[in-house]
Chain A
């Protein structure tokens, strides 16, 4: 028997969790590129270091992004991955597919690429992993012909993403899928042609459970919420009361603002509407009995990002409540103002949250013409160092 060329990686084929090594080997049977990618990964496992070089500038006609250049630092040993570029393909909203479109993507990548993919990348795109420079344009032509387009990369609008939303979730307070699709279509130029200080991400969650982690992972999260009161179905409350759910301990006691009360003899749950902060806990625990209100919209936040460069931020509340109805013009106009201000003032690789931190939330609000409201802060400042403008003093 021939000795294995990947003895370290072979050890990751066993065990119950799905094995990426098996997947790489499947692709390697058909594609010399995938075979050399596997070989180079074995080298990384042996030497405990990466063997990809910094990306070069490669792409397709008319676009400034969507392709991540990647080159091997050991091309003599692994000539098939001398260049091994990634194509980011914009996913349909909510990552819904019919099998015909998935098969089309597979056929295109069998013809032009390594046969390796990520379903999906961290931002949300389908990642077509690895092809040579001359194949980029033909692969893109084929994708376009099949109705697909590239996603964002570099200092551009990155591919927006959205939770499953009204397609299959009763919690959805906004049409996350339509918002994601509509904003993606409206801002194709911003997505495909990097022109800003750095990246900008938009993610859309249907409720405060935030299943796409928008508050941590996007510069502008759109999070569904409601303004009126919870809807409680007392008949269903009684069903829960007769189940093994401890309504008082697991639901009422965990309400962060003590807005719920439970009458155990009547088996009735009530809420003080003005105290509820819409955190979703009681709804998550009793989805058949408790539902969001009917006056639905979104909270818009700003500034979230991972640590590079000046530390991580969770996004900050910008608009406590806005109705979200197509064509979402009010929010699109606000985005244009935010991008203008950021473009004007931001330094290279400065995200909008870092710029707000550097120049002040006050300056930002003025620039985008939003009024300060108390919902924007946990608590007001404790220092006396604030600015007055000339028109406010005598």
Chain B
């Protein structure tokens, strides 16, 4: 084979579009949500395209990709796409093909849904499957949580859309910090310093600079560094720049849950997710504590929020003190911020709820 050409960039998306999209590109007029997971977009020309959205597990084999390619060949003229949340979307140009496609998908066990006021696919990271800094697994928790929450994927019964995401460490790959409900892998012990390897493997100034709380000092005697353990909040950033500072700890690593974030600008500006539960243990393979905590929050939200309210909008209306009361989640010292933007979260008025 010839030496590869470099810098050719990705294939042009225009080669990938179904003819009805090429024809009506930029001329869509409106859409309808025919049923959960099924959308109809109508163009100014009167042409329509149907989308059938199904859940994917993100970590898939090439044979899975070939399976969905076979389905797309049969019903979609060989066209499909993926969403930013790793859903698969079958793009159907022929209205008569929509119901047969749905039938085949159902018969093969695919889940159709994820549109409108549903829980869409969960954005998540690699976890123990393929990351070196993971404090928990990603795919296993997502599978366990979504096995319980499937009815919220296949229906549109929630007050508003609900976006769940999971990051397996504090690097938070994947909009976890702005999700309605975020599951985050956390460490709870400072890294151990491997003096022997550190001097050889790592640049000491880089290691020192990597610490957001200035907890790392040079240790000239060992040609290494010393960690002020009282200042360490276990972010793992030093480990990211230096392998000689392992932070994973099977006994203490686990999961935190944050709630109330959003990225859409509809009604209210985007918001960060806020800490709800500081720690739940790692209990593979099915993380029952995490599953029941997530389910509880989703159910309390579903029962109490007004129609149209995202998780964060609901909590801001009823107040966080009421959120903790309704969910039965204890409020602890961990919930009061002591990091960089801390003071912006302290209450500056004597008006609050009991």
Contacts and interface: CB of A to CB of B under 8 A. Distances in A.
Contacts of B110: 18
B142 to A, nearest CB: 8
Nearest to B33: A287
Contacts of B172: 306-308, 312
Contact of A15 (B147, B249, B261, B267): B147
A234 interface: no
Nearest to B284: A45
Interface string B147-175: 10010000000000000000100111111
A34 B60 CA distance: 12
Contacts of B133: 50
The secondary-structure label for the interface of chain B is loop
A333 interface: no
A333 to B, nearest CB: 20
Interface residues of A, number: 123
Contacts of A53: 132, 243
Contact of B250 (A47, A52, A208, A211): A47
A230 interface: no
B292 to A, nearest CB: 15
Contacts of B4: 60-61, 137, 140-141, 143-145
A279 B3 CA distance: 50
A281 B139 contact: no
A352 interface: no
A258 to B, nearest CB: 12
A261 interface: no
Interface in A109-135: 109-110, 115-120, 122-124, 129-130
B298 to A, nearest CB: 15
Interface in B201-239: 206, 209-210, 212, 235, 237, 239
Nearest to B261: A216
Contacts of B308: 250, 254
A307 B266 CA distance: 24
Contacts of B5: 144
B225 to A, nearest CB: 16
B209 A310 contact: no
A115 B63 contact: yes
A366 interface: no
A89 to B, nearest CB: 8
Contact of A314 (B6, B10, B126, B272): B272
Interface residues of B, number: 116
A184 B10 contact: yes
A20 B57 contact: yes
A22 B341 CA distance: 43
A242 interface: no
B178 A54 contact: no
B60 A17 contact: no
A66 to B, nearest CB: 10
Contacts of B2: 141, 145
A170 B44 CA distance: 10
A144 to B, nearest CB: 4
B266 A17 contact: no
B65 A105 contact: yes
B265 interface: yes
Interface stretch (A94-102, A264-272, A318-326, A334-342): A94-102
B332 interface: no
Nearest to B307: A250
A50 B131 contact: yes
A247 interface: no
A215 B178 CA distance: 10
A44 interface: yes
Contacts of B66: 102-103, 106
A347 to B, nearest CB: 6
B209 A210 contact: no
Contacts of B62: 27, 105-106, 109-110, 115-117
A35 interface: no
Interface string B55-80: 11111111111100110110000111
Interface in A1-50: 8-9, 11-12, 15-21, 23-24, 26-27, 34, 37, 41, 44-45, 47-50
A250 B206 CA distance: 53
Contacts of A16: 111, 147, 150
A11 B129 CA distance: 16
B63 A26 contact: yes
Interface in B100-157: 110-111, 123, 125-126, 128-134, 137, 139-140, 142-144, 146-147, 150
Contacts of B126: 118
30 contacts: A8-B284, A15-B143, A18-B143, A23-B57, A23-B60, A27-B62, A34-B61, A45-B128, A52-B132, A90-B9, A97-B80, A98-B15, A99-B72, A103-B69, A106-B63, A116-B61, A119-B60, A142-B1, A169-B28, A181-B9, A210-B270, A211-B84, A256-B267, A256-B268, A288-B32, A306-B176, A306-B177, A308-B172, A308-B237, A349-B237
Given A48-B282, A119-B56, A307-B235, 15 more contacts: A27-B61, A41-B128, A94-B13, A97-B81, A101-B16, A102-B66, A116-B59, A118-B60, A138-B1, A141-B1, A144-B6, A163-B84, A170-B41, A184-B9, A312-B177
Report the 10 A-B pairs with minimum CB-CB distance, sorted nearest first: A15-B147, A144-B4, A54-B243, A166-B26, A208-B265, A44-B128, A106-B62, A99-B69, A90-B10, A18-B57
